[in-house]
């Protein structure tokens, strides 16, 4: 089978990892080119990965005939236009979350991909983590009975650099909590009907000026009656802490761990071990599995496991949470979605 030619757009924290994976760990892919508005960053990565082609824009990258698919890891506010650029050029797309910043934007992205008959997959990589995938399988097999409570936390050790916020990737519920919202729908097998969100900026004073939250807590009510609570924190200081629990009528599942290596030290001061430091460490396998699956989906014409519709639903919950936090009241997700569409039209 011929290899799939891949281009990566945006070579910051996330794009670099996708490019590294495409370059040497996905046997059915060939990394052809990278692009970044910071041309020096694109050149550096191309040199590091020993590939020939680096560009300063997606437009140049998608002109290449040997690029069959594009991984979009630019700041979130560019996702929609980059999906449109790639689709117009007939390239298949793996786009980082969120697919767009508005529901209309998601719909436009979906329409662009449909119109061009290209595959559009979205980067909710936690679904490719072996522990989360196993949890989902067991829930689907009925092992925990009826899901009753969903709890999930996502704490970064350190906040992303200010440039991350300034470039338009930042809002907490759309950037970070959206992972918990996707997990919630996927693991409970139901839609979130209502949210009540709270947030603050207490740990990172530098975010106050930018109007960004560093902590958020969202209560969830699912359509079928299950309930939930999710938390995002930009700065835990102690480590990258991802923990999810699904309580069912027959059993409970927990996904998450803090210890990175198997070394535990027991001494006069107590018991100690290292901690998982970063999402690129905790989800290394998930990012790779995700890219392998994307490449295989394109080559075999299969539908993506994480669809654009999943991205739409997760974004609708995130927008409802942002509205709820802003207005200080519970918000129904469908109501928020409709309001959003009305406001944009």
74 binds ligand NAD (CB under 6 A): yes
Tokens of 175: 């950037």
Task: Give the number of other CB atoms < 10 A from CB of residue 288.
Answer: 19
Judged by CB under 6 A, does residue 123 bind ligand NAD?
A: yes
Collapsed DSSP state (helix, strand, coil) of residue 254: strand
Q: Which ranges of 171-283 does DSSP label H, i.e. alpha helix?
A: 172-175, 177-188, 279-282
Residue 167 near ligand NAD by CB under 6 A:
yes
Residue whose tokens read 């991984």: 71
Q: Does 164 bind ligand NAD (CB under 6 A)?
A: yes
54 versus 76: smaller Cβ distance to ligand NAD:
76
| Contact mark string toward ligand NAD, 240..269, x via CB under 6 A | ------------------------------
Pick one of 6, 8, 14, 322: the residue that binds ligand NAD (CB under 6 A): 14
Q: What residues are paired with 222 via a beta bridge?
A: 192
- Residue 125 in the binding site for ligand NAD (CB under 6 A): yes
Among 30, 71, 78, 116, binds ligand NAD (CB under 6 A): 78
Cβ-contact 173, 76 below 8 angstroms = no
Among 37, 204, 275, 341, binds ligand NAD (CB under 6 A): 37
User: 151 and 229 in contact (C-beta within 8 Å)?
Assistant: yes
Comparing C-alpha atoms, which of 237, 298, 255, 280 is closest to residue 67? 298
Interface with ligand NAD includes 97 (CB under 6 A)? yes
Q: Is 128 in the site for ligand NAD (CB under 6 A)?
A: no
Does 322 contact ligand NAD by CB under 6 A? no
The verdict on 36 binding ligand NAD (CB under 6 A) reads yes
Q: Give the nearer residue to ligand NAD in terms of CB position, either 147 or 244.
A: 244
Q: CB of residue 313 vs ligand NAD: minimum separation in angstroms?
A: 17
The strand ranges marked E within the chain are 4-9, 29-35, 53-55, 69-72, 92-95, 120-122, 147-155, 192-200, 215-222, 227-233, 241-248, 252-255, 264-267, 270-273, 331-332
- Number of neighbours of residue 264 by Cβ within 10 angstroms: 10
Provide, rounded to whole angstroms, the least separation between the CB of residue 136 and ligand NAD: 18
Contacts with ligand NAD by CB under 6 A lie at 9-15, 35-38, 41, 58, 73-76, 78, 96-97, 123, 125, 160, 163-164, 167, 169, 175, 279
């Amino acid at each position: 089978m011929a290899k799939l030619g891949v281009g990566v757009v945006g070579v910051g924290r996330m794009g670099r990892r996708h490019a590294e994976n495409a370059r040497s760990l996905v046997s059915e892919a060939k990394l052809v080119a990278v692009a970044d508005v910071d041309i020096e960053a694109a050149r550096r990565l191309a040199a590091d990965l020993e590939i020939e082609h680096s560009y300063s824009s997606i437009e140049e990258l998608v002109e290449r005939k040997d690029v069959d698919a594009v991984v979009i890891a630019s700041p979130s506010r560019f996702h929609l236009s980059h999906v449109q650029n790639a689709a117009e050029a007939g390239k298949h797309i793996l786009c980082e979350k969120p697919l767009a910043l508005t529901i209309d934007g998601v719909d436009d992205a979906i329409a662009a991909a449909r119109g061009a008959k290209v595959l559009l997959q979205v980067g909710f990589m936690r679904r490719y983590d072996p522990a989360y995938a196993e949890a989902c399988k067991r829930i689907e097999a009925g092992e925990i009975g009826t899901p009753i409570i969903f709890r999930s936390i996502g704490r970064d050790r350190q906040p992303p650099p200010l440039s991350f916020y300034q470039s338009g990737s930042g809002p907490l519920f759309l950037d970070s909590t959206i992972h918990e919202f996707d997990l919630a729908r996927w693991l409970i097998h139901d839609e979130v009907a209502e949210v009540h969100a709270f947030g603050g900026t207490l740990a990172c004073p530098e975010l106050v000026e930018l109007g960004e939250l560093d902590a958020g807590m969202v209560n969830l009510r699912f359509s079928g009656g299950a309930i939930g609570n999710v938390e995002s924190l930009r700065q835990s200081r102690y480590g990258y802490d991802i923990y999810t629990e699904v309580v069912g009528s027959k059993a409970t599942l927990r996904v998450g761990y803090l210890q990175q290596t198997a070394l535990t030290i027991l001494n006069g001061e107590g018991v100690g071990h290292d901690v998982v430091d970063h999402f690129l460490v905790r989800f290394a396998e998930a990012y790779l599995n995700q890219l392998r699956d994307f490449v295989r989906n394109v080559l075999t014409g299969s539908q993506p496991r994480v669809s654009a519709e999943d991205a739409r639903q997760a974004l609708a919950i995130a927008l409802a949470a942002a509205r709820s936090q802003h207005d200080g009241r519970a918000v129904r997700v469908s109501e928020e979605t409709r309001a959003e569409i009305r406001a944009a039209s």
